[in-house]
Amino acid sequence: MTAPASLLAPRPGTRARHARNRIATLSIWVALILVVVPLVAVIGAVIVKGASSISGSFLTQDINKITNGQKLAAAFAKVAGKQSTQDGIKPAIIGTLLITGLATLLAVPLGVLGGVYLNEYGGRSRFARLLRFLTEVMTGVPSIVMGLFVFSIVVVKTGFSLGWNVSGLAGSLALACLMLPVVIRATEEMLKLVPQELREASYALGARKSKTIVSVVLPAAAGGIVSGALLAVARASGETAPLVFVIGITRTTNTNLFSGGNVALSTEIFRNALSYGSYATARNRAWGEALVLIVIALSFTLLARLVTALFVRRRAA
């Protein structure tokens, strides 16, 4: 009979375990920094370079048509140490909000209905599985392909296309096509989380299926669906590729989405960033527009968080 070893005695392999622990901790910190640095750098660069462009007139003026003479004048002004202003992005801000807004109106109701069908009615039927597969494929379609799709069937006048010419509506259609599968998936996933017991409780009171879905299932999943939809909106508001060749261009605010060219912040950034070689002001404009766009996207995201939190609190209270 020997007394058991003290609890304080080192167990075999303790040193190696401590070493592994330190290495693991270190690699996690390195990974964290690798992720955070680019994120902070992007936001920081946009703020630093974009903030100087932001002014009252920048946000409220129309976009100036820049002639070569004005470019020259601007270059002289810069040499003389003066900033040429009189050049805003109001049409792009309005355009982004309107085009994204219409896209939301098109995609969210359809997407929610699609998600309801898949989870509540389709289930594991062959048709529902096909739809689910197509939705997944649609999620993977590159955004520029969506732009091309809308361009070829809505904008240009060839074959079976509608030939409506460029407009904000065409941009909204392209964005809606991008958002639709995201909203469908988010809705289906959220509805899956609603416990079957709640549906049965409603049926047991004499409620029909449609009534149960509208009054019990959708409200129970509303927080998740709204935040999923708003994240899709935030994502779409920054899309450039599907817009560049379907919305055309305008220099003055065009609130009519159904006719005439339009302009969005993302396409303005694209245009200005391309033309910066000879004209430094354009580069500054692009940074300023980028900052405004980030703020808009961020406010959608914050709104999504707020809505989710409100629903969660109301349920827990």
Partner 1 sequence: MQPTASQTDIVESVSIDTPSGVENGIHLEVGNPEIFQRDDAARELVFDIEKLKILYSGVVAVADVDLDIAAREVTAFIGPSGCGKTTVLRSLNRMHDTTPGAVVHGKILYHGEDLYGSRIDAAEVRRRIGMVFQKPNPFPKSIFDNVAYGPKINGKKRKDLDDLVEHALTRAALWDEVKDKLKRSALALSGGQQQRLCIARAIAVEPDVILMDEPCSALDPIATARIEDLMAELKREFTIVIVTHNMQQASRVADRTAFFTAELNDAGKRQGILVEYDSTNKIFTQPSDPRTEGYITGRFG
Cβ proximity of 302 and 282 under 8 Å: no
202 lies in the binding site for partner 1 (CB under 8 A)? yes
Tally of CB atoms within 10 A around 290: 24
- CB of residue 221 to partner 1, shortest distance in Å: 10
Q: Which stretch binds partner 1 (CB under 8 A): 28-36, 174-182, 211-219, 237-245?
A: 211-219
Q: Which of 3, 34, 79, 204 binds partner 1 (CB under 8 A)?
A: 204
Measured from the CB atom, is 102 or 220 closer to partner 1? 220
Tally of CB atoms within 10 A around 111: 27
- CB of residue 217 to partner 1, shortest distance in Å: 10
- CB of residue 123 to partner 1, shortest distance in Å: 7
Binding mask 65-104 for partner 1 (x = CB under 8 A): ----------------------------------------
Measured from the CB atom, is 144 or 198 closer to partner 1? 198
User: Scanning residues 119 to 148, which ones bind partner 1 (CB under 8 A)?
Assistant: 123
3 lies in the binding site for partner 1 (CB under 8 A)? no
117 lies in the binding site for partner 1 (CB under 8 A)? no
Q: Nearest 5°: CA angle at 232, between 226 and 236?
A: 145
Q: Which of 30, 201, 295, 302 binds partner 1 (CB under 8 A)?
A: 201
User: Which residue, among 109, 73, 313, 86, has the nearest Cα to 229 in the 3D structure?
Assistant: 109
* Residue 47 burial class via C-beta count within 10 angstroms: exposed 0-12, middle 13-18, buried 19 and up: middle
Q: Which stretch binds partner 1 (CB under 8 A): 15-23, 40-48, 153-161, 193-201?
A: 193-201
199 lies in the binding site for partner 1 (CB under 8 A)? yes
Handedness of CA 130, 136, 140, 141 (dihedral sign): positive
Measured from the CB atom, is 142 or 195 closer to partner 1? 195
Q: Which of 29, 52, 133, 200 binds partner 1 (CB under 8 A)?
A: 200
Cβ proximity of 200 and 187 under 8 Å: no
Buried b (16+ CB within 10 A) or exposed e, 155-184: bbeeeeeeebebbbbbbbbbbbbbbbbbbb
Dig out the tokens for 206 from the structure.
Answer: 């004499």
Q: Which of 31, 136, 195, 298 binds partner 1 (CB under 8 A)?
A: 195
197 lies in the binding site for partner 1 (CB under 8 A)? yes
How far is the first Cα of the chain from the last one, in angstroms, to the nearest whole number? 61
- To the nearest 10 degrees (0 to 180), the angle between helices 280-316 and 90-116 is 40
Give residues in contact with partner 1 (CB under 8 A).
123, 195, 197-208, 211, 215-216, 219-220, 314-317
